[in-house]
Amino acid sequence: MLLAVLSWLCASLLVAVGAGKLPEAEVQIEVLHKPFLCHRKSKYGDILLVHHDGHFENGTVFHSSRNEGDKQAVWFTLGIREAIKGWDKGLQDMCSGEKRKLVVPPALAYGKEGRGKIPPESTLTFFIEVLEIRNGPRSHESFQEMDLNDDWRLSKQEVKTYLRKEFERHGYPPNDTLHENMMEDIFSKEDENKDSFISSREFTYRHDEL
Ligand SMILES: *[C@@H]1O[C@H](CO)[C@@H](O)[C@H](O)[C@H]1NC(C)=O
Ligand SMILES: *[C@@H]1O[C@H](CO)[C@@H](O)[C@H](O)[C@H]1NC(C)=O
Ligand SMILES: [Ca+2]
Ligand SMILES: [Ca+2]
């Protein structure tokens, strides 16, 4: 049982499923600097240390990690909507040391509502430098495979379906009582805010007790 739970947690078990997605707004990507040596490229689930400047269309800077606050680069997890969708789309396949300019339409940034000093319907331009890339604790692909209805959270039913599939894949007969128990065990550990869903954030970050 414990082993099975651990294997549920093991991201490498799973392969991404290509899901049919609706056409979406695009991020315009311009590579400003590409290092000569590139040992690995950023992918979903990685954590990236980035410096970033954000500009409005009129050129005014609304944020700069180099000049504001603690003047520090920030860690960012790729692919889980930790920042804006435009970052998830625009920061894939980057090398450490690479610099990019992203032009992000409102639909992939703060949309119709805007946020804070970002007015509604703002197209935003970012200059982003990736300083470091590390493996994230868990893979984005495994989350997507489990999230059958694409609502970015795992329901109890989705987790049970996944367990059943994994059992079958490894040649064990499905056992609803057992899946139910495992699922409850997983939720007691992973569903931190007890809303009966495991969010992508709850999934991605490992908890101390595990
Ligand atoms: C540029 O645009 C932003 C957002 O619309 C606005 O807050 C700011 O005042 C503008 N700056 C200039 C110099 O027009
Ligand atoms: C299903 O799992 C439960 C709980 O672990 C166990 O008691 C039961 O014997 C299993 N049933 C079968 C058919 O293996
Ligand atoms: Ca879901
Ligand atoms: Ca939750």
In tens, the pLDDT along 105-144 reads 999 999 999 999 999 999 999 999 999 998 776 667 778 8
- Tell me which DSSP letter residue 152 carries: S
Residues near ligand 2 (Cβ within 6 A): 175, 177-178
Backbone angles phi and psi of 175, in degrees to 5:
-145, 100
Alpha-carbon Rg for the chain in angstroms: 19
What mean pLDDT comes out for the span 89-108?
96
For ligand 1, atom 13: residue with the closest CA: 60
Query: Can you list the alpha helix ranges (DSSP code H) found in 71-199?
Result: 85-90, 140-146, 156-169, 176-190
For ligand 2, atom 5: residue with the closest CA: 178
What mean pLDDT comes out for the span 161-188?
86
In tens, the pLDDT along 34-83 reads 999 898 899 877 889 999 999 999 999 999 998 877 688 988 888 777 78
**Of 187, 186, 190, residue with least CA distance to 201:** 190
Residue 171 has pLDDT above 50, yes or no: yes
- Is residue 7 in a domain? no
- Is residue 23 in a domain? no
Q: Are residues 35 and 128 in the same domain?
A: yes
How far is the centre of ligand 4, averaged over its atoms, from the C-alpha of 83 (Å)?
19
In sequence order, the 6+-apart residues with CB closer than 8 A to the CB of 196 are 155, 156, 187
Single residue among 134, 154, 169 that ends a domain in this structure: 134
Count of domains in the chain? 2
Q: Are residues 122 and 160 in the same domain?
A: no
> Rounded mean pLDDT of the chain?
83
Q: Are residues 147 and 99 in the same domain?
A: no
**Secondary structure (3-state) at 67:** coil
Single residue among 110, 134, 158 that ends a domain in this structure: 134
pLDDT score, position 112: 95
Half-sphere exposure of 190 (CA within 13 A, CB side): 28
Q: Are residues 150 and 53 in the same domain?
A: no
pLDDT score, position 17: 31
Q: What share of the chain is helix, strand, coil (3-state, %, to 5)?
A: 30, 25, 50
- Is residue 16 in a domain? no
Share of the chain above pLDDT 70, in %: 82
* Containing structural domain, residue 191: 139-204
For ligand 2, atom 11: residue with the closest CA: 175
Which domain CATH number covers 59? 3.10.50.40
pLDDT score, position 15: 29
pLDDT score, position 182: 84
Residue 157 has pLDDT above 90, yes or no: yes
Q: Are residues 149 and 189 in the same domain?
A: yes
6 confidence band (pLDDT: 50, 70, 90): very low
Q: Are residues 145 and 122 in the same domain?
A: no
Single residue among 87, 113, 134 that ends a domain in this structure: 134
How far is the centre of ligand 2, averaged over its atoms, from the C-alpha of 181 (Å)?
10
CB atoms within 5 A of ion ligand 3 belong to: 147, 149, 151
Q: Are residues 89 and 121 in the same domain?
A: yes
In sequence order, the 6+-apart residues with CB closer than 8 A to the CB of 178 are 1
Q: Are residues 95 and 175 in the same domain?
A: no
- Is residue 15 in a domain? no
What mean pLDDT comes out for the span 181-207?
85
